């Protein structure tokens, strides 16, 4: 049986995808820089910055789930060599991109998408909105503190549950029905950040607030937590789309790919309530 290589297998979506594919009966190679063990999958060392790791990682593989490492700002330099390596071997690529980049020709993610589309191999592009899982992931310290301070202004996002992203990835990797298409993945409705904090409060049984802050204050806060300044400004820049209303859009892509509607933020909060209880 040919195998599926999942890059970023220790991350938010990657870890869920490895489990889902194994449960689907697929043979999975779980890639990480440390080749840590993964239940139900073959662990393999894979480093975007080290091409010497490519050959062994791709051995026996005919499909790849490709995403950008969270700590790397050089999107094109990171992803284009991997796409070229996979395309030369006729490996299908399902790429996790970013919502909205298809209209921004100068966006590095869009440049990578265009390179993938022109690569000659089979491809699917998934463009998820903000993950609901950020509330128990990168925003967990703020949630634990009871005050989610973000430069989102009065904007709203159609948050998507990472479980739904993984389910869409399974569909794209195990079928050819979606080849050559891009999908914007969202939750069922836009939710303001104050409303999101209120949903978490009800799930946690304690007050959790949302405080809108400036980009500069957000970057300073991240630097205090050890995030490099350049990474902080990159993350702050993502919230411009939130403030401008672009992340409030809703699509039917999750249902088109999986046959069922996406989970709501309320469902996410209830399912992860234990993570929010101080």
Query: Which CATH number does the domain housing residue 194 bear?
Result: 3.90.25.10
pLDDT at residue 5, as a whole number: 98
**140 in the same domain as 72:** no
Look at 139-143, 152-156, 170-174, 222-226 and tell me which has the smallest mean pLDDT: 222-226
- Structural domain includes residue 175: no
Q: Are 61 and 5 in contact (CB under 8 A)?
A: yes
Assess whether pLDDT exceeds 90 at residue 278.
no
What does the pLDDT look like over 41-67, one tens digit per residue? 999 999 999 999 999 999 999 999 999
**157 in the same domain as 212:** yes
**236 in the same domain as 137:** yes
Look at 67-71, 79-83, 148-152 and tell me which has the smallest mean pLDDT: 67-71
Instruction: Give 260 or 238, the one with higher predicted confidence.
Output: 260
- Structural domain includes residue 52: yes
**200 in the same domain as 96:** no
**124 in the same domain as 11:** yes
- Structural domain includes residue 36: yes
Q: Is 51 exposed, middle or buried (0-12, 13-18, 19+ CB in 10 A)?
A: exposed
Place 211 in a pLDDT band, splitting at 50, 70 and 90.
Answer: very high
Q: Are 3 and 30 in contact (CB under 8 A)?
A: no
62-94 per-residue burial string, b: 16 or more CB within 10 A, e: under 16: bbbbbbbbeeeeebeebbbebbebbbeeebbbb
Q: What is the mean pLDDT of residues 221-247?
A: 92
**105 in the same domain as 63:** yes
Q: What is the mean pLDDT of residues 253-273?
A: 98
**96 in the same domain as 234:** no
**Domain range enclosing 31:** 3-128
Look at 33-42, 46-55, 142-151, 204-213 and tell me which has the smallest mean pLDDT: 33-42
Closest CA to 182 of 63, 92, 78, 99: 99
Give the chain's domain count: 2
- Structural domain includes residue 228: yes
**270 in the same domain as 138:** yes
- Measured between alpha carbons, how far is 24 from 5 in angstroms, rounded to an integer? 15
CATH number for the domain harbouring residue 60: 3.40.50.720
- Structural domain includes residue 81: yes
**29 in the same domain as 115:** yes
Q: What is the mean pLDDT of residues 16-44?
A: 92
- Structural domain includes residue 169: no
**278 in the same domain as 197:** yes
**143 in the same domain as 69:** no
**137 in the same domain as 118:** no
Assess whether pLDDT exceeds 80 at residue 1.
no
Q: Which residue has the tokens 């990159």?
A: 234
- Structural domain includes residue 84: yes
- Structural domain includes residue 254: no
């Amino acid at each position: 049986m040919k195998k599926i290589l999942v890059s970023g297998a220790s991350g938010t979506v990657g870890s869920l995808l490895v489990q889902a594919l194994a449960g689907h009966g697929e043979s999975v190679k779980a890639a990480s820089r440390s080749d840590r063990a993964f239940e139900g999958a073959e662990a393999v060392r894979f480093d975007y910055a080290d091409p010497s790791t490519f050959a062994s990682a791709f051995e026996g593989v005919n499909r790849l789930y490709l995403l950008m490492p969270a700590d790397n700002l050089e999107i094109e330099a990171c992803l284009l060599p991997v796409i070229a390596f996979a395309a030369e071997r006729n490996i299908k690529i399902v790429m996790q991109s970013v919502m909205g980049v298809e209209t921004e020709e100068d966006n590095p993610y869009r440049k990578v998408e265009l390179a993938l589309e022109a690569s000659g191999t089979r491809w699917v592009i998934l463009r998820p909105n903000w993950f609901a899982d950020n509330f128990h992931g990168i925003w967990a310290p703020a949630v634990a503190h009871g005050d989610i301070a973000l430069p989102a202004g009065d904007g709203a996002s159609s948050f998507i549950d990472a479980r739904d992203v993984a389910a869409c990835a399974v569909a794209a990797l195990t079928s050819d029905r979606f080849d050559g298409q891009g999908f914007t993945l969202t939750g069922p409705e836009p939710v303001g950040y104050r409303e999101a904090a209120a949903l978490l409060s009800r799930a946690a049984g304690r007050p959790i607030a949302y405080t809108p802050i400036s980009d500069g204050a957000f970057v300073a806060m991240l630097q205090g937590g050890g995030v490099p300044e350049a990474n902080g400004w990159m993350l702050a820049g993502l919230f411009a789309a939130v403030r401008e209303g672009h992340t409030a859009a809703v699509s039917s892509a999750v249902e088109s790919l999986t046959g069922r509607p996406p989970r709501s933020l309320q469902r996410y909060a209830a399912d992860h309530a234990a993570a929010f209880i101080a």
